[in-house]
Chains A and B, each alone.
Chain A
Amino acid sequence: MAKGKKKNSGFVLVLYFLVPFAIVLFLKYSFSNSNNSYQAIGETNSGNQHSTDLAAKANNLPEKVDYIFDVKPILSDRCYLCHGPDEGTREAGLRLDTKEGAFKAIGKNLDRYAIVAGKPEESALVSKITNTDLQKVMPPPSSNLSLTEYEKQVLIKWIEQGAEWKTHWSFVPPIKPELPKIATQDWVSNSIDYFIAKRLEQKNLKPSEEASKEQLIRRVYFDLTGLPPSIEDIDAFLNDKDTNAYEKVVDKLLASSSYGERMASTWLDVSRYADTHGYQDDLERIMWPWRDWVISAFNRNIPYDKFIKWQLAGDLLPNPSPEQIVATAFNRNHKITQEGGVIDEEYRVEYVMDRANTTAKAILGITMECARCHDHKYDPISMKEFYGFYAFFNKVDEKGRIDYGELPEPNIKITKKEVEETLSFINLPDSIKEVKLMVMKDNAPDRKTYTLRRGQYDAPDQEVTLDTPEFILEYSDSLPKNRLGLAKWLFHKDNSLTARVAVNRMWQDIFGVGIVSTSEDFGNQGALPSHPELLDWLAVTFREEGWDMKKMYKRLVMSSTYKQTSKLSPQLLELDPDNVLLARYSRSKLTAEMVRDNALAVSGLLVDKIGGPSVKPYQPPGLWQETTGGGGGSTAKYIPDTGENLYRRSLYTFWKRTVPPPAMMTFDAPTRDFCEVKRQKTSTPLQALVMLNDPQLIEAAEHLAKNTLKEDNLSQDERIKLIFRKITSRFPTQEELDKFTQYVETVENDFESNPDIDKTEITSKTEYAYTLLSSLIFNLDEVIIKG
């Protein structure tokens, strides 16, 4: 198979591609050879793409084949589609996702078995997958899910070794493991490090040395506040010789209000927060009071269980406070249409779907939506269970289509008085007397829920009652049959997913990649955890400590694991290019918000103000006008704000879903159409253009240059150092300093002779040179990297 592919790609090369492209194709191809089975589970693309060096792989079979690690990923990815949880499309009565199904008698006379433990020659599965007849082999070639030789050998060896069956790891409640015994005690700062060190020792790897203090402070500032440290912050830290100097910084950051803004910006992705309704004319909506609540909730360190419970069911708590009701706006962040002529029920159903899917993905890490049209193909979620879950969110008396200018029901009014008395976290400007906010309310208690054939709004089938997927945890009769009951179910100690999913996402916030790299999917098709015991230890600890988020974040950043340098030796790059084992810290790109906020902060432009209505900073003119249908009202034309609203942190930037802020999109922000728990991290030429030419970046460079020149008694070296340190948080090397000096001089010489420079804005050659120097430094790789 691999041979055939190679031949084919050679043919293609010659005929259709320029040589460079061909090389890229070839490299891509080489890359697919470098997949490993661990990664393949979660990250590689498609079944037929495992063009593996067969012989090498077959020789590399694990000594003891493990069901969870080796076997189930293959069964799930290649077999479940027709032999999995979905009863509707199950072929030949064979079900391979349950032990009972996999071992039961099959065939017309019930005399055959797919799997006979220890006896591959009697196992129908083996004869099927090894059949050389293309009409008979499983999976059929037409499915594009064919097994590689290696995968076949794994299945066969597993059966040979007794076909031991286990439950999927994330469906079993976590148990707190003992800390592993390790040799390198002196490296350890806290419990996390035991688990990391253990793995490194087993691989004969050593952790990397600690990062420099400059690196460390920059890293932890971005991670906990989304902003860079000031020179004063850095100097204070460099000069603090206390053994707990770093801990003092961490505590200070956790207590700062920027912490809440940083954490909120992640939660806004999860919550698909936006300032418009999202369909067609994409009218403005007011949800920012809820966003202010999120920031405040993080800053007040409301425990995660309450944080979620209030958002899911604050309105159903006994005597709910206004704050608890405001929190439920979480589930009204879905899109809403006003398009003339749409069918109301069609869209109302979409909103309910969105709530169910968001809740499942954000809190349980499962892809519930796959069971909308049929039973889930990979995880044991029946269509009936999906609609049982959907039913929790189907009691809202709401419209599918709203009119222009209509505020969707249900909503609450928030007045000045309430803000003063109970909702002080809402930044209601003096110019606004009151706002109305969409919230959750079960004011259609009698609406029945049905399964919908093919997931279609007009094809109701069987009536269902409120329920949750049984494989996670049975929905106890003692729980109320509403969203509050659901919230309690989520935080029951036997719920195997909630705590793991939460700590995994926190880990992802700090380390860039989750312990489960597919933070959106903990099911059968998801990646396996890189450090399973650590994940469980963290999950149980999080629960035992009362779901204390600040405490958990502190633990992560206080670990020696976190404090390692991100320098990468060729050996480490070769042995662990994706840094799965964490023998170093991973360099990773700043988020779209951080990239801009960094420029604002270091140049002194940033306006430090929390919350309030969303703002409209610079945006290339015309983007909204070009696409509007004319019916958008305030969203038909982008009118940039003036004054301080230009310089607010990026999480406050007005989010029009159908035309989101372009520079943020270029830096991998999601569209906010749906819940997203993980951003992409790409590198594109368009990002380079933003960094080079975005007027915001240019203004920051100019501002920084002017401010620096205002300071008296600085030598040229000192000015350059100051600018460089502000932007990168470190001192330049002598070599770098020489280069910058030389650059400044060259540009100064350009100034006089160049008639195209606007000399009303920039009045001296020095100002000009320092502006370009600042712009140059903003464009260095390390500036948009957390390393």
Chain B
Amino acid sequence: MEELSKHFINNNRRHFLKKVGLGIGGLAAASLLDPFSALGNNSQLNPTGLNLPHFAPKAKRVIYLFQSGGPSQLDLFDYKPLLDKMRGQDLPDSVRQGQRLTGMTSGQDSFPLVGSNFKFDQYGESRAWVSSLMPYTAKVVDELCFIKSMHTEAINHDPAITFFQTGSQQPGRPSIGSWMSYGLGSLNENLPTFSVLLSRGTGRPFSQPLYSRLWGNGFLSSLHQGVQFRSGKDPVLYLKDPDGMSRAQRRAMLDHISELNQKQEEEFGDPEINSRIAQYEMAYRMQTSVPDTMNVEEEPEHIIQMYGVDAMVPGTYAANCLLARRMAERDVRFIQLYHMGWDQHFDLPSQIERQAKDIDQATAALIMDLKQRGMLEDTLVVWGGEFGRTNYSQGTLTDTNYGRDHHPKCFTMFMAGGGVKPGFTYGETDDFGYNIAKDPMHVHDLQATIMHLMGVDHTKFTYKHQGRRFRLTDVSGHVVHDILS
């Protein structure tokens, strides 16, 4: 140990010399310009030294429309006439191939196959199959890139959704939005880099919870936490000044705070104080920019009509889609929506009808709205849940009713804009809609592909924590080049 100590002393000179490069001025300038960027308080302990993006990005920003609970691909997009023909017959063992079942259906005596109660048709030049549940989406299929062959390992909600959002089934890792915030930084000076909007569906409103870890920063700096935007008078927590305080009063107080903090900086010489001053300025700007973003009242009537009447009801999916567009316009880099209510184990036909109605029009409107503003080309829109649903009924199958359990082996997602092929379908499932027949795409593949579109090589983008380099895609994942435009 003594030797170690000596050595440290003799060599520490290098450490000193190299710190000189960036003095107080540099640090303060950096945080003033962009307090949400990676250079916060942590900068000295954890210089990122990132050199991102790795290559020219196709997408500057992402809007991820997460459908929480696991939408039934078989009732929305993955048309399987064989299931109609075989309705009521047992799922053959040769198809199931020993796939593990959740504890909810593993005790069932039989697994009666069931097609959809909803009519499917082909739409657009791309001739994509869409069910009658999604009439608006059907009209925009030529903008969409369907992935019919998504698959995951997780069969229960908590691990499955955590897997999609953090690359790991067990909690503790940063979410995808946090990774992007950390890696790519902010595009604007007034809003958080990673923003989150929640809505509760009407299909099965109370079924699956959400967890703030889904937009958590894990082991990354808290600067990269997703910031929840909420309906109501305090759209971002603690944003609103106390009742009766005017903007001028707030400004006056901040000026005093800033001046006194500056005096402290002069006395203590701690550059962190400059960073604090910058954070207060950003907070002040947010107090204007956030309500400004949330002010959908200023949208013209035809835009409201486009998203549907719900767009004026704060906290709905439609309202959140409209907000997502407004955030995208203001260069928020990662906009994450969660719409709850897709976990339809029983009474699926009636539940999914309501649930699809929640989202169909607004989703299509968002895509077309981005397009008409020329923003779709550099905005990647992602739609999908944490897994799919079974081709057999959970509970009793009747002529009009059925349910579906979780199904991890194949499900459908779609993307649009931001560098993916429009009017394209990737992957296929077998005639039973139970296994993937062609071109599987794993959760990590999706994450790798999203990052690729953002200009990030997922194998190179790592964060060293507890001695190990972590990636969003853990140790796997491949960019699916076939879907890139």
Contacts and interface: CB of A to CB of B under 8 A. Distances in A.
A685 B283 contact: yes
B135 interface: no
A694 B264 CA distance: 24
Interface stretch (B108-116, B137-145, B150-158, B440-448): B150-158
B39 A27 contact: yes
B158 A279 contact: yes
Given A57-B14, A630-B205, 5 more contacts: A21-B185, A43-B46, A341-B155, A518-B467, A589-B41
Contact of B222 (A24, A62, A367, A668): A668
B47 A693 contact: no
A401 B159 CA distance: 14
Interface string B424-452: 00000000000000000000000000000
Given A21-B37, A628-B206, A66 B283 contact: no
A454 B274 CA distance: 48
A38 B16 CA distance: 11
The 9 A-B residue pairs with the shortest CB-CB distance in the complex, in nearest-first order: A32-B49, A525-B467, A630-B206, A341-B102, A757-B244, A36-B15, A629-B209, A688-B283, A568-B269
Interface stretch (A9-17, A306-314, A437-445): A9-17
Given A525-B467, A756-B244, A28 B46 contact: no
B121 interface: no
Contacts of A566: 268, 270
B207 A630 contact: yes
Nearest to B155: A341
A327 B237 CA distance: 37
Given A29-B49, A683-B275, A144 B462 contact: yes
Given A21-B34, A24-B34, A576-B16, A689 B469 contact: no
Interface in B159-211: 159, 170-172, 185-189, 198, 200, 205-211
A627 B156 CA distance: 17
A175 B4 CA distance: 14
B313 interface: no
A377 B260 CA distance: 50
B4 to A, nearest CB: 5
A757 B103 CA distance: 57
Contacts of B42: 680-682
How many residues of B sit at the interface, in one of the four size bands?
A: 35 or more
10 contacts: A24-B37, A45-B49, A49-B48, A367-B467, A577-B44, A622-B230, A622-B232, A674-B171, A688-B282, A690-B237
B464 A44 contact: yes
Interface stretch (A119-127, A467-475, A605-613, A779-787): A779-787
Given A342-B103, A658-B209, A692-B241, A34 B18 contact: yes
A408 B284 CA distance: 48
A46 B246 CA distance: 47
Nearest to A567: B268
A533 B102 contact: no
A44 B47 CA distance: 6
Nearest to A527: B467
A451 interface: no
B4 A525 contact: no
B238 A45 contact: no
Contact of A683 (B40, B209, B256, B268): B40
Contact of B156 (A172, A339, A779): A339
B261 A673 contact: no
Nearest to A60: B14
A627 B270 contact: no
Nearest to A575: B16
Interface stretch (A104-112, A708-716, A746-754): A746-754
A20, A60, A64, A203, most chain B CB atoms within 10 A: A20
A394 B269 CA distance: 53
Given A339-B156, A622-B230, A682-B40, A776 B269 contact: no
B351 to A, nearest CB: 14
A113 interface: no
A665 interface: yes
Nearest to B216: A671
Given A533-B1, A629-B207, A632-B209, A683 B11 contact: no
A520 interface: yes
Contacts of A693: 238-242
Contact of A37 (B11, B33, B159): B11
